[in-house]
Amino acid sequence: MTGFGTGDAPLGDGRVVLELRALNHRYLDVRVRLPEELVDQAFFLEQLARERLARGRFEVAARLEGSALPPARFSIERARALYRGLQELRDELAPGSALPMTALAAMPDLMTRPATAERGAAQVALQSAFGDALRRLTDMRSHEGKALSRELSARLLSARQLRAHISVRGPELLEAARARLRERLDRLLSDTGLQLDAGRLEAELAILADRSDVTEELVRLECHFDQFAHLLEAEGPVGRRLDFLLQEIGRESNTIGAKTQDARTAHLVVEMKAEIERIREQVQNVE
């Protein structure tokens, strides 16, 4: 589900402000954007987000206001030592050649980061700001979740009703199939004058009934619908479990459609599968 939340916390002589944005995604995807002064906290913030978030794509962005952290400083001592080392290497390998100051630009560790104590304070501030942003994001997503739950419940009710119509037609379809087979056999045998063994006829009718009977599929389908409705009322992330149930529901629906030879029932199955597909699309937004 989508949503947005902000949080802030004091840090040094300023503040850290954190924004947390949620987008629909099938899995958990966390992306962190930090200013230069906090770039070494990216892993800490990503892990914090992964511990407290579930499904969706989350964009975490922080910025500093005021003098929250001292800026990184250029280390003159390190620069001098590196330049002397470069001069010695130049004199050894290429005596007399020019050694421009720009050679230092590619050298690492010339900028000093804030001290360990300041980095620890930054983590505390980031954690506090993240907590505030997550609470506000959760409130916003909660409103969306309630609306989405109502939509899914309505779709589920429609699928249940279609399943009930298919179930009612089941015995009629079996009897109609038996009647069609008897009529076809009678027509064929009347032209030849042969008699069909009654036991063999009943055996063939039993095989036909078994192949077209969808009672088991309808029972399992109703069980899956019950579980789906229960998960809609459950607390906590349920998106992955709903996904799994929809796979099972789709499997049972496909089997029912494959066994159905009656045009009206086939139409009901198509409508039910269409509702299930609409549910599947919406479930992609559920955490």
Most confidently modeled range among 83-87, 111-115, 134-138, 197-201: 134-138
User: Span 166-172, mean pLDDT?
Assistant: 76
Do 137 and 11 fall within a single domain? yes
- Mean model confidence pLDDT for the chain: 81
| Residues 91 and 78 both lie in one domain | yes
**Inside any domain, residue 244:** yes
Better pLDDT: 96 or 133: 133
**212 pLDDT tier (thresholds 50, 70, 90):** low
Q: Give per-residue pLDDT as tens, 47-85.
A: 999 999 887 889 999 988 887 666 666 667 777 777 788
Question: Residue 26: inside a domain, yes or no?
Answer: yes
| Residue 183 and residue 65 share a domain | no
Give 116's pLDDT tier (boundaries 50, 70, 90).
very low
Mean pLDDT for the stretch of residues 120-124: 87
- Which residues, 6 or more positions from 252, have their beta carbon under 8 angstroms from its beta carbon? 217, 220, 221, 224
DSSP 104: G
38 close to 126: Cβ distance less than 8 angstroms? yes
Q: Are residues 52 and 153 in the same domain?
A: no
Cβ–Cβ < 8 Å for 26, 140: no
Residues 100-119, mean pLDDT to the nearest whole number = 64
Domains of the chain: total: 3
How much is the pLDDT for 199? Answer: 64
pLDDT average, residue stretch 103-131: 74
pTM: 0.59
The rounded percent of the chain whose pLDDT value lies above 70 is 78
- 188-to-104, 182, 185 alpha-carbon distances in Å: 98, 10, 5
Q: Residue 224, Cα to own-chain centre: how many angstroms?
A: 20
Q: Are residues 214 and 275 in the same domain?
A: yes
- CATH number of residue 61's parent domain: 3.30.230
Q: What is the pLDDT of residues 214-253, one digit of tens each?
A: 788 888 999 999 999 998 888 777 888 888 899 999 999 9
Structural domain of residue 249, as residue ranges?
A: 144-283
Do both 149 and 273 map to the same domain?
A: yes
Is residue 59 in some structural domain?
Answer: yes
- Contact yes or no for 62/48 (Cβ under 8 A): no
Position 117 scores a pLDDT of 44
In a domain, 111, yes or no: no
> Which range scores top for mean pLDDT: 177-186, 198-207, 230-239?
230-239
User: Is 214 inside a domain boundary?
Assistant: yes
pLDDT at 193: 62
**Same domain for 161 and 138:** no
211 & 267 share domain:
yes
238 & 271 share domain: yes
How far is it, in rounded angstroms, from Cα 104 to Cα 85? 11
Question: Is 156 in the same domain as 261?
Answer: yes
pLDDT of residue 224: 92
Does the residue 231 lie in any domain?
Answer: yes
Closest by Cα among 118, 148, 137, 126 to 13: 118
Residue 248 domain-assigned (yes or no): yes
DSSP string, 198-235: HHHHHHHHHHHHHHH--HHHHHHHHHHHHHHHHHHT-S
* Residues recorded for the chain: 287
CA dist list (Å): 35 to 19, 62, 121, 130: 13, 7, 16, 16
What would the pLDDT profile of 8-24 be if each residue is shown by its tens digit? 999 877 889 999 998 87
Final residue before a domain boundary, out of 56, 85, 106: 106
199 in the same domain as 99: no
Q: Is residue 18 part of a domain?
A: yes
How far is it, in rounded angstroms, from Cα 155 to Cα 225? 11
Same domain? For 148 and 279 the reply is: yes
